Amino acid sequence: MDIVAQHLLNGLMQGTMYGLVAMGFTLFFGVMDVIKFSHGDVLTFGAFAALVAALLAQSGGMGVWVQILAMFAAAVVATALIGTEIARFFVLPLRHSPTLNILLLTMMLGTVIRECLRLFYPNGGNPQRFPALLPAGGINFGRAFVRYDGLILLAVGLALIALVHWVITRTRFGLAVRAVAEDEETARMMGMNFRRVVRLTFALGSATAGVAGVMYGLYYSEINYGMGVLLAIIGFSAAIVGGLGNLWGAIIGGYLFAGLQTLAVALAPAATEYKTFFAFLVVIVVITWRPTGLLAEARSERV
Amino acid sequence: MGFWRRGITAMAAGLLVGILPQVSSAKDIVKIAWIGPLTGALSQHGIGGRNSAELAVKLKNANPATKYNYELVALDDECKPNVGVQVATRAGSDRSIIAAIPHYCSATAIATVEVYNRFKLPMVVWAAVLPEITYGKKLPEIHRVSGTLIGQNRVGAKFMADLGYKRFVSFADTTDYGKSMDKYFTQFTLENGGQVIGKFGVPPDQQDLSAELTQVKELNPEVIFFGGLTPLGTRLRTQMVKFGMDQLMEGQSGIIGEAFINAVGAQLAEGVITFFDSPRIERTEAGQEFMKKYAEAGYKEPYEAYGPFSFAATNLVMDTIEKAGPDRAKVTEGLAHVKDYASTVGPITFDDHGQNITPLTTKFVVQDGKWTVWEDSEYASGNRKLGRQK
């Protein structure tokens, strides 16, 4: 039973990170019908921005909690800015061109971001040690071990999911996002600033990736320039399997993917190398069965 | 007019007189390729190896007694088999390159051996330790100064048994290198009376190891053996400590070097043990000389664990060219007869597969942020205890 609880906790932590990445994909698709494939690299950029902020705060003799705040602030600001600019200079001008063009363009942008980190960050090709600022240690529940930092990060992740959901469903900005997602022309006729809504949505989606990047660094104590690639593929798959364009779908997809990976290890400990293979295989089956995802767009509100 | 003509003739004669002695003493340039990871997660090892090879070339060129002037062509294989094949092909197809000193990663080296054979380019591996690189096929161009991973696992298993450890879990990456590490670790551990109660294979780029560590924790071994390279090794060490696991981490040559301690941090790295096929270079005259020259050269980066091997391989290649001449076939023939060649890493003797058969295995433990030779450590003297040591 203890081992089940431990796997459940591991899966929850991973699922939250995947869900945060998937939320970004779903927001971009919901508003603009685009797939921004640089999303994983934006996450990595956020993690590196946070690392720089932490090192600066550390050298300035700031306290631990100030350093943590500086990290999250730097990641959110850096990723929101880069997200806005991607929308302004690449997505909006190309919005009438085939979707494939934007997908390819953002994929190339992601490569540029990744290579810039590798080439211009000092020793950027090497894994970077991320400051372990959260309380170390944990509590034993039977043989299950709950890490304090894991608990804190899980709470942060869940709070962010709730916050994004609240912004989208309960605020005027969220109303504008949903209006644009439903019908761009009508939203414009109602006096909404379409370009502004798109830019802010990209800022919001990218900032969630930034937070996920910091969570990743704090949880694993290490970041590297290529970490966003697989996270983006998993996040995108999670968004698809949940129902691309649907916020809840992205979250469910994230937890489902993490759950499948964990299940594979729990059921076949001798074949752990197949866990990602197994998860993707199930995702393929689910997509074949329900091409519009588990929470199909037709039955639910977009974004 | 006559004045100008005489003047120009005199100047031309003077120039010829000045130039001729230089022309007669100018040495032919001989190119040798050095290949390793200069970018990517293992670049710290690659840059240390490249610097060491570069140092060997600089010192050789500074010696007026040499017949040739050597030029090192450093190529980046990123520790990726496909990139390795590309750069090996590039070196092989460049006829001005006479020999190569390639590869840190075994997965890359095993993918390229056929390329060197196809292009008849003699090579001396400076770091990769997979046995099949030299023993997979008998190819005349293939040689290696570093040991195979068999020796370190044999020594490691005996050492762990002597310390009283019985229950092991193997945690290896899924490349040929990791699988081979797991194979020989298991074989020698069982031979020494140990039990391998679980095996976990993970891709080298996997970030999250919590699911696997949950299973390891359930098995409750005394030792987690790691068969892989630095990036995955740092993740395993960091995450197992964060998971509250106090087992001893037993590594191997894939994690030896400053890169591991830099990435993990001195505190978390403390007490990690590893085995490395190298003599204690700080105790040999050649080793001390290398360390002194490296420091004098002013490189910013450390030479890392395999720098002395890269230095030795480069010197061996240049000395063979000095004797045989800058010709691929003759150098291949020359390398076939290497016996008791004095080097930074001890005497080198190649067997009929081109494998150096003389490496010595040294045991290391991380103590206060440094890889310390076991016999010199406070762990050996009993002042400190390893994880789960009885």
Pick from B119, B118, B117: nearest CA to B133? B117
Closest CB to B265: pick one of A129, A224, A262.
A129
- Give B8-44 pLDDT, tens digit per residue: 665 555 554 444 444 445 889 999 999 999 987 888 8
3-state helix, strand, coil in chain B (%, to 5): 45, 20, 35
Q: Is the pLDDT of residue B236 over 70?
A: yes
Position B243 scores a pLDDT of: 87
Contacts of residue B88, defined as CB under 8 A and 6 or more positions apart, other chains included, come to: B35, B77, B100, B102, B112, B115, B116, B121
In the numeric block, which tokens belong to residue B380? 């050996």
H-type alpha helices, chain B = 2-25, 43-61, 81-93, 106-118, 132-135, 149-162, 176-191, 210-219, 230-242, 258-264, 266-269, 285-297, 307-324, 328-335
Determine the Cα–Cα distance for residues B254 and B107; give it in Å rounded to an integer.
Answer: 12
How confident is the model at residue B158, as a pLDDT?
97
Distance of CA A14 to the CA centre of its chain: 11
Is the CB of residue B264 less than 8 Å from the CB of residue B238? yes
Beta-strand runs (E) in chain A? 128-129, 138-141, 144-147, 222-223
Q: Answer yes or no: do A127 and B41 touch at CB < 8 A.
A: yes
What's the confidence (pLDDT) of residue B22?
46
* pLDDT value at residue B73: 98
Interface with chain A: mutation pick from B38, B205, B242, highest number of A CBs within 10 Å: B242
Which of B41, B210, B215 comes nearest A224 by C-beta?
Answer: B41
- A272–B200 CB contact, under 8 Å: yes
Task: Please give the pLDDT value at position B4.
Answer: 60
Q: What is the overall mean pLDDT for chain B?
A: 92
What local confidence, expressed as pLDDT, does residue A184 receive? 84
The string of pLDDT tens digits covering residues B41-64 is 888 899 999 999 999 999 999 999
pLDDT of residue A265: 86
- What is the tens place of the pLDDT at every residue in B140-174? 999 999 999 999 999 999 999 999 999 999 999 99
Counting residues of chain B whose pLDDT is more than 90, the rounded percentage is: 83
Question: Looking at per-residue confidence, does A292 or B128 come out higher?
Answer: B128
Residues from chain A that touch B199, judged by Cβ atoms under 8 A, are 270
B19, amino acid identity = I
DSSP A98-117: -HHHHHHHHHHHHHHHHHHH
Chain A residues with CB under 8 Å of B244 CB are 137-138, 140, 145, 147
d(CA A49, CA B324): 55
- Residue A3 and residue B214: Cβ atoms within 8 Å? yes
Q: Is the pLDDT of residue B101 over 90?
A: yes
Q: pLDDT (tens digit, 9 = 90+) per residue, A170-229?
A: 999 999 998 988 888 888 888 889 999 999 999 999 999 999 999 999 999 889 898 999
Q: Which of residues 228-287 of A touch B (CB under 8 A)?
A: 230, 261-262, 265-266, 269-270, 272-273, 275-276
Could you read off the pLDDT tens digit of each residue along chain A, which spans 303 residues? 678 888 898 899 999 999 999 999 999 998 888 899 999 999 999 999 999 999 999 999 999 999 999 999 999 999 999 999 999 999 999 988 888 898 899 999 999 999 999 889 987 877 788 998 999 888 888 778 888 999 999 999 999 999 999 999 999 999 999 898 888 888 888 888 999 999 999 999 999 999 999 999 999 988 989 899 999 999 999 999 999 888 899 999 999 999 999 999 888 877 888 888 999 999 999 999 998 888 865 455 566
Which of A13, A125, A272 lies nearest to residue B212, judging by beta carbons?
A272
| 3-state SS, residue B78 | coil
Helix, strand or coil, per DSSP, at residue B361: strand
* CB pair distance less than 8 Å for A230 and B207: yes
Option in A11, A125, A230 nearest B40 (CB): A125
Complex confidence, ipTM = 0.79
Contact B211 A125 (CB under 8 A): no
